Amino acid sequence: MSPLKTSFPKDKMKIVLLENISQSAVDSFKKAGYTQIEQHTGALSGEQLDTVLKEAKVVCVRSKTQLTEEVITKAKKLVAIGCFCIGTNQVDLEAANKAGVCVFNAPFSNTRSVAELVIASAIMLIRKIPDKNRAAHAGEWDKDSTNAHEIRGKRLGVVGYGHIGSQVSILAEAMGLRVFYYDVENKLPLGNAEEISDLKSLIEHCDIITLHVPGTKQTQNLFDKQVLNWFQKGQLLVNMSRGDVVDISALKEALEEKRISGAAVDVFPEEPKNKDEKFSSPLQNISNVILTPHIGGSTEEAQWNIGLDVSSKLIKYIENGASLGSKSIPELSLPKIEDTHRILHIHKNVSGVLSEINSKISKLDVNILGQYLSTNLEVGYVVLDISKSDSLDTLKEFKRIDHTIKVRILY
């Protein structure tokens, strides 16, 4: 009889953490028995990234590391990617799906941190603090109240009323702002917020505009020259979403022309990969502009919670196969493995694969105790719980099935 095939041993599973991911994630992996943990403080790219990922089963990134189709294709052993942040635009999700690599993110752990910074930035801008702060550091005493206002009673326009936008809305109302929002989806207004159905009207209607859309093809340059030309009343702009959502040179022009009287920008089309790289932006040294180094979600609270959230999803996927929350392969919520073998089969979503899997199973001396299937356009994910049997020499068998992308066996 052939020996039992089991899942890959934990102590041989290389987990790579880039971009200074929280210790809480490292602790979780270690507690779960993973010992091959490699940590890097910054983002990597090119050959360095390829080399680090060669043997990796799991890679953990934040917003900076670009996991392109080329990188994913080269990382042949990769089973899962953890985005320890909200955005997943740095990962080619389609390529990950096709490669059978499960991608998780942390959809809400840093939302409060961003929302707080948005409110803080709005107050700083409306009081002209960037200039007054600069002047005070230079020994000047600028106590003038001209054009400095309270935010109470002002109109806040939220573009993208998702997890962050809606939290900003709640905090803003508590500060006495009136909130309006524009979203491409139909969203439940929280508190007294009111929906405005087109972007132009929202911009024309509000004093402060804050952006909370994801980085997608559709949102790229959403605030282009034409949209920035709609700002006419010395309004304020906050961008904590993604750098390429706003045309930076058009924003610079609008700020210099004082059509936009202040901006807080946390995200940039080009951002340094680590501390040692120099940061430069056309927005540097413009009056009433706050520039922050992509720190909307950078609080100890947020990072700690993200570390726990994403590491637990990755561990569950490795050890149980559950892909709930996946941004790439189909989602499956699975019961615990109790005295069974679990076969995880990711394949191209073409006809005939399932019947071949079932035909393989029928030739084994086992009972099927559970069968789960989820598909998307490109990929099918089938999970089979079967009774334990010494004759289980299935890994090779299942790998031979046409259109197979990845197979794992858990026990």
Ligand X SMILES: NC(=O)C1=CN([C@@H]2O[C@H](COP(=O)(O)OP(=O)(O)OC[C@H]3O[C@@H](n4cnc5c(N)ncnc54)[C@H](O)[C@@H]3O)[C@@H](O)[C@H]2O)C=CC1
Would you call 129 helix, strand, or coil by DSSP?
helix
The reply to whether 267 sits near ligand X by the rule CB under 6 A is: yes
Q: Any idea which residue has 């105790």 for tokens? A: 369
Q: Which does 240 bind (CB under 5 to 8 A by kind): ligand HPV, ligand X, none?
A: ligand X
Q: Which does 62 bind (CB under 5 to 8 A by kind): ligand X, ligand HPV, none?
A: ligand HPV
Smallest gap, in angstroms, from Cβ of residue 111 to ligand HPV?
9
Q: How many CA atoms lie within 13 A of 328 on its CB side?
A: 27
**Helices marked H in 138-247:** 163-174, 199-205, 225-228
The reply to whether 127 sits near ligand X by the rule CB under 6 A is: no
Told to judge if 294 belongs to the known catalytic residues of this protein, a careful annotator would answer yes
**Helices marked H in 138-256:** 163-174, 199-205, 225-228, 248-256
Dihedral sign for Cα atoms in the order 390, 395, 401, 407: positive
Smallest gap, in angstroms, from Cβ of residue 335 to ligand HPV?
31
- Segment interacting with ligand X (CB under 6 A) among 50-58, 143-151, 235-243, 394-402: 235-243
Smallest gap, in angstroms, from Cβ of residue 94 to ligand X?
17
Smallest gap, in angstroms, from Cβ of residue 206 to ligand X?
14
Q: Please, which residue, 206 or 302, has the CB nearer to ligand HPV?
A: 302
Q: Any idea which residue has 């905090």 for tokens? A: 171
Where in 179-218 is the site for ligand X (CB under 6 A)? 182-185, 187, 212-215, 218
Q: Which residues of 56-73 are buried (b: 16+ CB within 10 A; e: fewer)?
A: bbbbbbbbbbbbeeebbe
Q: Which of 100, 296, 325, 330 binds ligand X (CB under 6 A)?
A: 296
Q: Which of 160, 307, 325, 330 binds ligand X (CB under 6 A)?
A: 160
271, 331, 356, 378: which one is catalytic? 271
Dihedral angle, C-alpha 99, 310, 21, 49, nearest 10 °:
0
Where in 81-100 is the site for ligand X (CB under 6 A)? 86-87
Q: Which of 294, 313, 327, 342 binds ligand X (CB under 6 A)?
A: 294
Told to judge if 397 belongs to the known catalytic residues of this protein, a careful annotator would answer no
Q: Please, which residue, 28 or 298, has the CB nearer to ligand HPV?
A: 298
Supply 330's token pair.
């189909």
Would you call 369 helix, strand, or coil by DSSP?
strand
| Residue 340: exposure state from Cβ atoms within 10 A (0-12, 13-18, ≥19) | buried
Q: Kindly determine how many residues on this chain lie close enough to bind ligand X according to the rule CB under 6 A.
A: 32
40, 62, 178, 242: which one is catalytic? 242
The DSSP letter of residue 385 is E
The reply to whether 380 sits near ligand X by the rule CB under 6 A is: no
Write out the DSSP string of 58-105.
EEEE-SS--B-HHHHHH-TT--EEEESSS--TTB-HHHHHHTT-EEE-
| Residue 370: exposure state from Cβ atoms within 10 A (0-12, 13-18, ≥19) | middle
The reply to whether 61 sits near ligand X by the rule CB under 6 A is: no
The footprint of ligand HPV (CB under 6 A) covers 62-64, 85-87, 110, 294, 297-298
CA distance linking residue 194 with residue 116, whole number of Å: 21
Supply 61's token pair.
């990134």
Q: Which does 238 bind (CB under 5 to 8 A by kind): ligand HPV, ligand X, none?
A: none
Smallest gap, in angstroms, from Cβ of residue 219 to ligand HPV?
13
Told to judge if 403 belongs to the known catalytic residues of this protein, a careful annotator would answer no
Q: Which does 184 bind (CB under 5 to 8 A by kind): ligand X, ligand HPV, none?
A: ligand X
Dihedral angle, C-alpha 178, 254, 215, 25, nearest 10 °:
-80
Q: Which does 243 bind (CB under 5 to 8 A by kind): ligand X, ligand HPV, none?
A: none
CA distance linking residue 110 with residue 51, whole number of Å: 30
Q: Which does 163 bind (CB under 5 to 8 A by kind): ligand HPV, ligand X, none?
A: ligand X
Question: Shortest Cβ contact with ligand X: which residue?
Answer: 162
The reply to whether 297 sits near ligand X by the rule CB under 6 A is: yes
Smallest gap, in angstroms, from Cβ of residue 65 to ligand X?
15
By annotation, the residues acting in catalysis are 242, 271, 294
Residues at the interface with ligand X (CB under 6 A): 86-87, 110-111, 114, 159-165, 182-185, 187, 212-215, 218-219, 222, 240-242, 266-267, 294, 296-297
